[in-house]
Amino acid sequence: MLLSGRKGVILGVANKRSIAWAITQAARNHGAELLLTWGNDRFKEGVVELGRSIGVERYAPCDVSRDEEIAALAEQAKRELGTVDFLVHGVAFARKEELTGGYVDTSREGYRIAQDISSYSLAALCRAFRPLMKRERDADGEGPTSSVVTLTYLGGQRVIPNYNVMGVAKAALEASVRYLAADLGPDNIRVNAVSAGPIKTLSAAGVSSFSTMLNQLPARAPLRKNVTTDEVADASVFFLSELARGVTGEVLFVDAGFHAMGI
């Protein structure tokens, strides 16, 4: 029970295939008390049904492109949880037409939307939740930490066909993890990313030739397989727990080792 007595807010559950849902389940199994959100009203019923099936009692809407919804979420978390020990950012979006062909053809508006929802939202959430996540140190400079975890992909560091504007947004997201780690470290708030291998989810379905990638990876990855959402969730629990109390500003690959390969 690595998260027993810890309270967390999770963004990014759309359905049972979502990586954020696997993290939700793992966090519950480790004893966490949770507040779950949906980014779009069409997911509300499904998110509440999933959450209730594992005893989650708190819910809120939060479209991360809207400052007022982020502020309302932080207010609700303060009211219902008091303090927040961890925040999971499992949110990303790019328009489907940007996820095919060349990056060179990215539209200005498509670029703005992908950056806003997939990258800027992490900074906006960290700002809103900072007062609830700040932890005091003792005279020796030690003390409990709180933790923010986001999800990224290899396409933020290398060229992945069709990932395009989302790869550029993930690069910005990973840089944000480092800048936010530096800003929030003095408050004992850690900020890290888990870089997941390809997994069939709603978002992934938007990337052209995603299935080809999924089929080819096992032959090339050191562990000769694709990863599961459970494997990503277990690594996330490490970051959310005090086992990772000395780790911040980090990107941890959970991709069966694929990122380590050259040719």
Name the residues annotated as catalytic.
153, 163
Its sign, for the CA torsion 64, 67, 69, 74, is positive
**At 229, phi and psi to the nearest 5?**
-65, -30
Closest to ligand NAD by CB, 19 vs 87, is: 19
CB of 143 to ligand NAD, least distance (A): 30
CB 145 within 8 A of CB 242: yes
Closest CB to ligand NAD: residue number: 39
Q: From the list 60, 151, 160, 217, which residue makes contact with ligand NAD (rule: CB under 6 A)?
A: 151
Strands of 189-196's sheet in order across: 58-61, 33-38, 7-11, 86-89, 146-152, 189-196, 251-254
Residue 189 lies near ligand NAD (rule: CB under 6 A)? no
Place of tokens 């303090």: 83
Residue 110 lies near ligand NAD (rule: CB under 6 A)? no
d(CA 212, CA 200): 12
CB of 141 to ligand NAD, least distance (A): 33
Residue 188 lies near ligand NAD (rule: CB under 6 A)? no
> How many chain residues interact with ligand NAD (CB under 6 A)?
29
The residue ranges that bind ligand NAD (CB under 6 A) are 11-14, 18-20, 39-40, 43, 62-65, 90-93, 117, 151-153, 196, 198-199, 201-204
